[in-house]
Amino acid sequence: MRIGAIEVLAVDDGRFWLDGGSMFGVVPQALWRKSNPPDEEGRIELALRCLLLRAEGRVLLVDTGIGDHWPAEEAARFRIDRAPGLLGALAQQGLGPDDVTDVILTHLHFDHAGGAVQKGPSGLVPTFKKARHHLQRRNFAHGQRPFARDKASYLARLITPLIGGVEWTLYDGPAQILPGLDVLPFEGHTPGQQLIRVRDPQQRTGWLLYGADIVPTSSHLSPPFVMGYDLQPDVTAKEKARLIHRAIEDHGILVFEHDPKIDAASVTRDEKGRPVVERVISLRAPTH
């Protein structure tokens, strides 16, 4: 897909599984288990969908998946299956880690920033060492000093080598990385999460937005469907309601980072006024 001057492709780091109840918070299992069938341990399948953007001679990666450095016990707990993994997906596009000029992270949770580091000779090292990394300043700080409730999602062993090992651009609110490429803060899930919007500067409508953990799957379109992981679920619900309204009004496209079946979709409302998928959109990349 091309929006304005920006080429957009989906590249996956694989799949992992998280507790379904945690993914849907207070929503009863009867409302989500049909579309998201749990395994025998109550976990549901989730994608690790990243975006590969090309514009103005730059190669930009949005989020980095979960990475390849998990001890066997933790890999089994999350049922991680990365084949071929993010680097394999990039290689299919003729790209290596050093070809990536920018890494835009929505936030520093392990399933979004885990692939930004990899195994080195004596520990974890940055994967995209030549790339400038982009993040909200609030999340940069929070990731190093998380709350007790979200400490398990911000792993120091991943964040520490990344913080000091690459060049950073930190933002204090909405910002433009390139013409037509913006970052927008959404605070309900975790402090300083940013969503990424791709648009044609000549057009008001028809933008594409990477929903990260505000709309992680197409099953989370309804504003009350918020995750148990959200630090401020009421804020998430309000942020999502505004986002869905804009997506419908502007004919926007939402990219679902964790949906195991759908890359992206346009959104409409059903006869009861509930937001639903209007048109499924594939962002699959041709292989070289």
Number of domains in the chain: 1
The 10 Å Cβ neighbour count of residue 76 is 10
Give the separation between CA 139 and CA 61, rounded to whole angstroms.
18
Q: What is the CATH number of the domain that holds 89?
A: 3.60.15.10
Instruction: Give every CB contact of residue 5 below 8 A, 6+ residues apart in sequence.
Output: 55, 56, 179, 180
The boundaries of the domain holding residue 253 are 2-281
> What integer pLDDT is reported at residue 103 of this predicted model?
98
For residue 222, give both structure tokens: 């309804």
Q: How confident is the model at residue 286 (pLDDT cuts 50, 70, 90)?
A: low
pLDDT tens digit sequence for 36-92: 999 999 999 999 999 999 999 999 999 999 999 999 999 999 999 998 999 999 999
89 half-sphere exposure, CB direction, 13 A CA radius: 23
pTM of the model: 0.97
CB distance 217 to 36 below 8 Å: yes
Does residue 144 lie in a domain region? yes
Does residue 179 lie in a domain region? yes
> What integer pLDDT is reported at residue 70 of this predicted model?
96
Does residue 287 lie in a domain region? no
How many helices (H) and strands (E) would you count in the chain?
8, 16
pLDDT tens digit sequence for 124-162: 999 999 999 999 999 999 999 999 999 999 999 999 999
CB distance 165 to 126 below 8 Å: yes
Instruction: Give every CB contact of residue 286 below 8 A, 6+ residues apart in sequence.
Output: none
Does residue 288 lie in a domain region? no
> What integer pLDDT is reported at residue 285 of this predicted model?
67
Residue bearing tokens 């937005």? 209
Q: How confident is the model at residue 16 (pLDDT cuts 50, 70, 90)?
A: very high
